Amino acid sequence: MPRTLQTTARWWLAALAALLTAITATVVAGPGTAQAAPAFKVLAFYNGTWDAAHIDFDKEALTWFPQAAAQNNFTWEATTDWSRLNTGNLAQYKVIMFLDDAPPSGQRAAFQQYMQNGGAWMGFHVTAFNTDPNTWSWYYNTFLGTGAFVSNTWGPTSVTMRTERAHPSTTRLPATWTSAVSEWYSWRNDLRQNPSIDILASIDPGGYPVGTDPNQTWYSGYHPLIWTNRNYRMLYANFGHNAMNYSTNTRLSSTFASEVQNRWLIDGLLWLGGVTSGPSPSASPAPSASTGPISPTAWYSLVNRNSGKCVDARAAGSANGTAIQQYTCNNTTAQQYRFTPTTGAYTHVDIRLNSARSLDVTNVSTADNAPIQLWTYSGGLNQQWQPVAEGGGYYRLVNRNSGKCLDVPAASTADSVQLVQYACNGTGAQSFRLVQQP
């Protein structure tokens, strides 16, 4: 063969080999080089019109679930158009979700048929509320098994959950765990007596009392909070009611604050979607607004969002009565704090300079503009604070005694301004970024 033909042939053979290598690499790599098709689709229905606590849960859900879906290869969309709960449309979705209500009467037959034909459903809190279960007996008596609503706790609190049984949604749950804050409902029917109901989690016997209002507190009993009906592919969760400052409609807690509870949500959805019968392949997304994963042993600087200055003990003092102020960040132990859990979602905030001293509202005041000081921790409610995450590492600190927020008065940006408590208002003066220190 002439040299020019040999050279040309070798070039074409090399090109062909390179092309085959590229094709093979693409086929083998698969999902590594292209986004896999979503495993299933979720359609969530809600109203978003009744009770600020339920509306706020809806707002959180509209942020949190799309993040979870993106991380776990399913799609999640939400609508207030209940007319989409029809036979033709439901056929497009593997999982249906109710966030804050049950469907209107005109859509009930389609939903019942969807579930009886093998559809999947997840519902929350008020989606089971009713005072007359006979208004839709299949849903309240047969499907959920609750019968009528009996009572609720108040105010909203977290509870110690006890995992009741093995289930694909509970694979990653410990024996006992702390829920996010919610109001909790009880029901007329004892679900333990219903052979179709598998209770997945209930309030641990050591977790009582539950509530803050003595007249609406549960002191004992048996209260199932998460369950499934073995005749359907469904999961119901009693949570979905955020703590709120109703005068300002300001969120004081997050339904997605419990990382363990979030695991259940992810694993439950993957089971409902038919993806897995075991634990999920991906951890839940960081909550957009929650108490978050603050380490109880770590030390943090607290940097105000508005001023960029740090929470500081005046003149590096540690005696009782030392004023807590904002000051230019300087990485000293007078600006480092530890969040030590008490009960519920609350902590006492100790200063590294003298860890026996904690942030304290002067004179156990519940008034606006009451100054913040250091004081020896004694278990006082005025010394306990709930960190509520706002996203991006920022938190507001809500005092247990007053329900008011740690605040830089008049949104000052000056050094040496003493911090106060003030009605929570969602401004940067009440927002602090936690920066972990070595």
Q: For 333-364, what is each residue's pLDDT tens digit?
A: 999 999 999 998 899 999 999 999 999 999 99
Q: Mind listing the pLDDT tens digit for each residue in 201-249?
A: 999 888 899 999 999 999 999 999 999 999 999 999 999 999 998 888 8
Which amino acid appears at position 188 of this protein? R
The pLDDT-based confidence of 280 (bands split at 50, 70, 90) is very low
pLDDT-based confidence at 324, cuts 50/70/90? very high
Cβ–Cβ under 8 Å, residues 155 and 212: yes
**In 3D, which of 176, 181, 180 has the Cα closest to residue 202?**
176
CB 383 within 8 A of CB 375: yes
Q: Which of 155, 204, 154, 197 is nearest to 179 (CA)?
A: 204
- The single residue listed with the structure tokens 């593997």 is 94
- Give the C-alpha separation, 199 to 145, whole Å: 11
Pairwise CA distance, residues 294 & 31, whole Å: 34
26 pLDDT band, cuts 50/70/90, is very low
Half-sphere exposure for 182 (CA within 13 Å, toward CB): 26
Q: How many CB atoms are located within 10 Å of the residue 50 CB?
A: 11
Cβ(380)–Cβ(360) below 8 Å = yes
Domain architecture of the chain: domains with CATH: 41-272 (3.40.50.880), 299-437 (2.80.10.50)
Per residue in 77-134, pLDDT (tens digit) is: 999 999 999 999 999 999 999 999 999 999 999 999 999 999 999 999 999 999 999 9
Radius of gyration of the chain measured on its C-alpha atoms: 27
Tokens linked to 430:
């009440």
How far apart, in Å, do the first and last CA atoms of the chain sit? 73
> What gap in Å lies between CA 208 and CA 219, rounded to an integer?
5
Q: What is the mean pLDDT of residues 408-424?
A: 93
- Chain length of the chain: 438
pLDDT of 165: 84
**pLDDT score recorded for residue 65:** 94
Q: Which amino acid is at 381?
A: L
> Whole-number mean pLDDT of the chain?
87
Using an 8 Å Cβ cutoff, are 225 and 159 in contact? yes
Give the pLDDT confidence of 41-73 residue by residue, as tens digits: 999 999 988 899 999 999 999 999 999 999 999
